[in-house]
Amino acid sequence: MNAMILHESSRGIDTYTPESSLLKKRILFFTEEVNAESSNRMIEYLLYLDTDAPGEEITICINSPGGEVISGLAVYDTIMGLKSPVRTICIGTAASMGSILFLSGEKREMLPHTKIMIHDPLISGLSGSKKALELEKEAAQLMEIRAVTAQIIADRSGHSLEEVYAKTKEDCYLTSAEAIDFGIATGIARSIL
């Protein structure tokens, strides 16, 4: 949907999109699968806002099913390197890599009826026959990714790696209250603005 907003001013009538209006307020949305395209676009917006007004808060609203770990970690690492503080808000479900993006915020808030889902990473799309050494290599890579994502959850929630591994061995859905109790969220958002 390419909605346009009309605004009358002394210069005449200006047109702009809701996205550009929110960008001026330093509010971004990550509401899709995490992949190279969506991650690169988010990184571009983040770097633009950080250089435009370093030190001013950026808000990222997240409603994502997750996706590619490497693409998501690129966004996470970018956020960790910004001069501007980042506030993340879960506005639906932040699942899998979406939950890791949620954890990048200094302030991590959830709307009252939203959920976070954390779990061990998985490999999708396995097909065909594999040799033993190929499977061993894929398993080693998966365990490396598991260690990285578990460490992020541990660092941001204040839990030990053992506690995180126990919590993420299966899909773990947390309500806003449960996410606050576990240290993943820092509060309930009453407003996005």
**Residue 123 pLDDT greater than 70, yes or no:** no
Question: Are the C-beta atoms of residues 116 and 90 closer than 8 Å to each other?
Answer: yes
Strand partners, 7: 14
Query: Rounded to an integer, what distance in angstroms lies between the CA atom of residue 79 and that of residue 64?
Result: 17
Single out the catalytic residue among 38, 71, 84, 96: 96
Q: How far, in Å, CA of 185 to CA of 178, rounded?
A: 9
pLDDT exceeds cutoff 80 at 69: yes
Helix, strand, coil in percent for the chain, rounding step 5: 45, 25, 35
Provide the number of structural domains found in the chain. Answer: 1
Instruction: Yes or no: say if 116 and 184 are a contact pair by the CB < 8 Å rule.
Output: yes
Q: Is the pLDDT of residue 15 over 80?
A: no
Question: What's residue 46's pLDDT?
Answer: 98
Assess if residue 175 is contained within a domain.
yes
113 classed as catalytic = no
The pTM assigned to this predicted structure is 0.89
Instruction: Give me the CATH number covering residue 47.
Output: 3.90.226.10
Which one from 104, 119, 157, 159 is the annotated catalytic residue? 119
Residue 32 neighbours by CB distance under 10 Å: 15
Has residue 166 been placed in a domain?
yes
Domain-located, residue 22: yes
Domain-embedded: residue 193:
no
Which domain, by its residues, includes 180? 5-188
* 126 located within any domain: yes
* Residue 119 is a catalytic residue: yes
